[in-house]
A = this chain, B = another copy of it.
């Protein structure tokens, strides 16, 4: 179905107006995509797109040929349906997948990582290593922002996220599900490769990745089963957290 609509307050755009807030998207189990690239990547990952609203003839004909419902509209209206000042030429609504939370692989804890570019990069690398369970110790973390969609190359659409009310709640969840908690800190003992090999072969691992400025928080350092530092040269104290995550994912790869 293709339809032209040049009115903001119509029935067809009611959902999108409601979905401007992340909280509503989260509650409704909906995800909004913000670019043609994101739509194409989502389709590659076999994500169902409910409908598209666009000002672009190219996207319109793409929607037609892919049999996706599409509303054509004007730039002024499209940008009012969007919760940012960045100009866009498309919005697309899709359904969040409801994967049952099977915890038989390693999980990644994003311990107050702030930058959405870093979070997206970590998700992209994680999925490449088949780690697609990401836990966050705050109840309002929203993993489908435009920046995370871009940096993750939409691999967040095929990942699983779970928010927790607090560090303690997250910790209990990990222990109840038999995870070994692995942390890193610049002043921890040097990595013992043999020990890590033993652990990764015999346990499900919860890898804690720390905040950009402060690293892994004290709570998880204290409550970790194995804490180590990656030895760096030339007095370098830390790496970019996305790079650091990639190196650790590779080391934990079974």
Q: Which A positions have Cβ atoms within 8 angstroms of B?
A: 44, 121, 124-125, 127-130, 132, 151, 155, 158, 232-236, 239-240, 242-247, 250-251
Contacts and interface: CB of A to CB of B under 8 A. Distances in A.
A209 to B, nearest CB: 13
B246 A124 contact: no
Nearest to A242: B243
Contacts of A242: 240, 242-243
A233 B246 CA distance: 14
Nearest to A151: B240
Contact of A132 (B129, B132, B234, B243): B234
Contact of A240 (B125, B247, B250): B125
B233 A130 contact: yes
Is chain A's interface secondary structure helix, strand, loop, or mixed overall?
helix
Nearest to A246: B243
A85 to B, nearest CB: 19
B246 A239 contact: yes
A181 B94 CA distance: 45
A242 B242 CA distance: 8
Given A250-B250, A250-B251, A251-B250, A129 B243 contact: no
Q: Which 3 A-B pairs have the closest CB atoms?
A: A243-B246, A128-B236, A130-B233
A55 to B, nearest CB: 26
A125 B244 CA distance: 9
B232 A128 contact: yes
Contacts of A151: 240
Contacts of A125: 239-240, 243
Contacts of A130: 233-234
Contacts of A234: 127-128, 130, 132, 155, 158
Given A128-B233, A246-B247, A247-B250, 5 more contacts: A124-B239, A127-B233, A128-B234, A129-B232, A239-B246
A42 B175 CA distance: 44
30 contacts: A44-B235, A121-B240, A121-B243, A124-B236, A124-B240, A124-B243, A125-B239, A125-B243, A127-B233, A127-B234, A127-B236, A128-B232, A128-B233, A128-B234, A128-B239, A129-B232, A129-B233, A130-B233, A132-B234, A151-B240, A155-B234, A158-B234, A242-B242, A242-B243, A243-B243, A243-B246, A244-B246, A246-B246, A246-B247, A250-B251
